[in-house]
Amino acid sequence: MLVSGPSIGMACRAGIGLGLTPTSPRCCNDPMEMRSQALADFLARHESLAVVSGAGVSTASGIPDYRDRNGEWKHAQPIQYQDFVGNLNSRKRYWARSYVGWQRFSKARPNAAHYALADLEATGKVDTLITQNVDRLHSAAGSRRVIDLHGDLSKVRCLGCNATGDRWDYQQQLRDANPGWHSRVFRFRADGDAEIANKSHDEFCVPECDVCGGTVKPDVVMFGETVPKERVDSAAMAIDRADALLVAGSSLMLFSGYRFARQAIEQQKPIVIVNQGRTRADDIAALKVEADCGNVLSEAVGLLAA
């Protein structure tokens, strides 16, 4: 049973799903200190961690997340893969919004959460970091053993000849193909997207692949598209090697991430979750820390080092 409250923000359920006895939340005068210490204690008990990270890790870098504290969509769901492939108007809408959103998304820089996880890897605690994010900020912060489960938004790929290219180069092609085009921007969204004025994409021109004339898409796994098997297999092997699983900033509402929590539990490996709000794995986690990822991870890594 999940135990939590606004003055505690943390539920410690050591061994739920592992046949062990759950413990009660610990209270102290400083909730953040309690949360950081609980996380540091968990990290200290395990020599090798696999990490699954999500959008909550990158929000402090200015990249919005998808879901609210209840795990529900904050906005309309992103474009579906079949819609992108089969509908020219949908592709125009996607690339017009991405053309605007990329100008901000590309400026994002790593925050404290990214650096804390890179520090954990440097100390040998992290075996592999499996990220659902497509911003490459973990790598920018210094993490080396990273699996970009959903791809990399800084690249584009042709669906015809499979040629890949740099997103900056394609951004210039979009600019050249749409001189004078502009649209009112209402808000920026996750994955380099932006909400723009209705119908403003109607006249937006989308360049085709300059190698074969095929359809160009971002080199990411869209909703409705399958994660490449080799990435899933590599991530599963990382769970196999690790002693425990750390989930950071992910609600795990998508099965592409939740599957690794299920795998860890099946192997009787404890899970610690650092996330603000409900996750799909709350009932199987050994420790749930509800706090900002950057703050609590940084403090926990500092405590661990000390």
84: left (phi over 0), alpha (psi -120 to 50) or beta: alpha
Q: Give the residue carrying structure tokens 């696999």.
A: 50
Three-class secondary structure assignment of 40-78: HHHHHHCCCEEEEECHHHCHHHCCCCCECCCCCECCCCC
Residue 195 pLDDT level (bands cut at 50, 70, 90): confident
Over range 267-280, report the average pLDDT: 95
Q: How confident is the model at residue 31 (pLDDT cuts 50, 70, 90)?
A: confident
The number of CA neighbours under 13 Å toward the Cβ of 123 is 18
Distance from CA of residue 273 to its chain's centroid? 14
pLDDT of residue 79: 85
Which pLDDT does position 76 carry in this prediction? 63
Convert the pLDDT of each residue in 80-92 to its tens digit: 999 999 999 999 9
User: Residue 75: pLDDT band by 50, 70, 90 thresholds?
Assistant: low
Over residues 206-235, the pLDDT tens digits come to: 999 999 999 999 999 998 999 999 999 999
- Percentages helix, strand, coil for the chain (3-state, rounded to 5) are 40, 20, 45
- What's the confidence (pLDDT) of residue 202? 86
Average pLDDT over residues 116-126: 97
**pTM greater than 0.75 (yes/no):** yes
DSSP code per residue over 249-273 = S----SHHHHHHHHHHHHTT--EEE
pLDDT of residue 33: 83
Give the pLDDT band (50/70/90) at residue 11: very low
Identify whether 150 is a catalytic site residue: yes
Q: Are 149 and 235 in contact (CB under 8 A)?
A: yes
Structural domains in the chain plus CATH codes: 10-63+110-150+226-305 (3.40.50.1220), 81-107+152-220 (3.30.1600)
Q: Is 273 left (phi over 0), alpha (psi -120 to 50) or beta?
A: beta
What confidence tier does 18 reach under pLDDT thresholds 50, 70, 90? very low
The tokens of 121 are what?
Answer: 């890897």
- Cα 257 to its chain centre, rounded Å, is 9
* Amino acid making up residue 83: D
Q: Write down the residue that tokens 């890594």 correspond to.
A: 301
Residue 185: per-residue pLDDT: 72
Average pLDDT over residues 293-299: 96
Which of 138, 150, 182, 201 is catalytic? The answer is 150
The secondary element (H helix, E strand) that includes residue 108 is none
Strand ranges, E, within 6-138: 10-12, 49-53, 126-131
Band (70; pLDDT cuts 50, 70, 90): low
| Predicted confidence (pLDDT) per residue in 40-53, tens digit | 999 999 999 999 99
Task: Calculate mean pLDDT across residues 6-13.
Answer: 36
Q: How high does pLDDT run on average in the chain?
A: 86
Confidence check: pLDDT of 193 > 90: no
Residue 74 tokens, joined: 């904050």
Q: What is the pLDDT of residue 25?
A: 36
Return the sign of the alpha-carbon dihedral for residues 156, 232, 2, 244: negative
Average pLDDT over residues 177-192: 79
Mean pLDDT of 263-275: 97
Question: How far is the C-alpha of 252 from the C-alpha of 69, rounded, in Å?
Answer: 12
Q: How confident is the model at residue 4 (pLDDT cuts 50, 70, 90)?
A: very low
